[in-house]
Structure 1
Amino acid sequence: MHKKYHIRPALEADAAILCAAERRIAETPGRLVSHPDELKETAYAEKIRALADIGCYLVAEKDGVIVGHAVLEPVASRLSLAHVYTLGSMVVHSGADGQRAGSALMRALLQWVQQQSHIERIELRVREQNTAARRLYEKFGFVLEGRFDKRIKLADGSYLTDLMMAWFAPLPPASSTTPQRPA
């Protein structure tokens, strides 16, 4: 039986929990791009505030405990890119792996996107070796668009490849008032 999650908007009061979770995950080289000491609680509170009106910052709770979070934000303030958003973070907190928190978050993000008629494309980057995340994104319709070899350099001098994936909003149904071509 799969577990139910309460998905809600992130609050500034969640910043310490979100930062601590990402610091723990970042301790494993390559899981996140950031190193643990680069992650600052104040940056999380600022991001939550900044996205309140222009993006979507969600947390997943199980039994009142935050077990994951996800951030969807505009790529740029340029008019020609207003239809493009990026999945800046999708983090399942340590101990909640494999319990479908990521699926619950992605479902909620895409529901939010459906209410935003201007969003037509979501981009993300994922480590090539993160097969669980790649499967999740593919399950929700993301497609591979490219690869960035040697994009992330680890402390031991080795490199990781990032993959670029994208999701496209479904086309609206054809209008019944569309003129028909003569037979």
Structure 2
Amino acid sequence: MRINHQEFFANDLSYIVRSATEGDAKNLSEVRLQCDGETENLDREKGEAYIDESGFQQIIKNDTESSCNLFLVAEVNNRIVGFSRCEGNKLKRMSHKVEFGVCVLEEYWGYGIGKNLLKESINWADTNEIKKMTLSVLETNEKAINLYKKYGFEVEGILKNDKILSDGNYYNTILMGRFNE
């Protein structure tokens, strides 16, 4: 599915949130790899579960053709600096919901890019009769948890000792959901 692009301006930075196109695939592969190496808030370490250009082309093609998926990018001066995906399910019993994930390059934190990717995804979900959005977030990522709560997400569960980080300690994953009646 696609959305109309939106322009944003924050802290002297202008950026666009728009639907991904197959031409973004190479840049997306690079951005995802870089994001994975910049934070432990994501599931992967740098280089794990690597998706190359052709892999991203296929994901974007599938998401564009699917009414239950949405792939957005955030672009600054024709460079992708973040992205988000809503991935739905074609099984009838789960067709009412999508899973949301987001990634923004560290250099661009603090400009509301993640927030605007989330807001555009919520708008898309609400206007396309998607009743539930789910996500998972590391317990230490308080900024993200607070943002999600601000936009109507509630804690639905906790996966205890779910991830081991570079300090050798185990951390919980928080499962959150937002239901639109």
- TM normalised by structure 2 equals 0.83
Aligned to 1:62: 76
Counterpart Cα distance in 2 of 1:154 and 1:103: 25
Matched with 1:78 is 91
Q: 1:122: how far off?
A: 0.6
Contact 1:142 1:165 in 2 (8 A): yes
Contact 2:134–2:177, Cα closer than 8 Å, also in 1: yes
Match of 2:159 among 140, 148, 162: 148
Residue 52 of structure 1, CA deviation = 1.0
Identity %: 26
CA–CA separation in structure 2 for the residues paired with 1:29 and 1:160: 14
3-state SS, counterpart of residue 108 of structure 2: coil
C-alpha displacement at 1:51, in angstroms? 1.0
Cα deviation for residue 64 of structure 1 reads 2.5
Instruction: Specify the structure having the higher radius of gyration (Cα).
Output: 1
* 1:115 counterpart = 2:127: yes
Cα distance between partner residues in 2 of 1:160 and 1:24 = 23
Is the Cα contact below 8 Å between 2:38 and 2:105 reproduced in 1?
no
CA gap 1:45/1:35 in 2 versus in 1, 3 angstroms: farther
1:26-45 superposed matches below 5 A: 26-28=36-38, 30-38=40-48, 39-41=50-52, 42-45=54-57
Q: Offset at 1:156?
A: 5.6
Tell me which of 159, 165, 170 is aligned to 1:159.
170
Amino acid at match of 1:12: E
**Unmatched segments (≥5 aa) in structure 2:** 1-8
Query: Residue in 1 aligned with 2:26?
Result: 16
Q: CA RMSD in A?
A: 1.9
In structure 1, the gaps of 5 or more residues are: 172-183
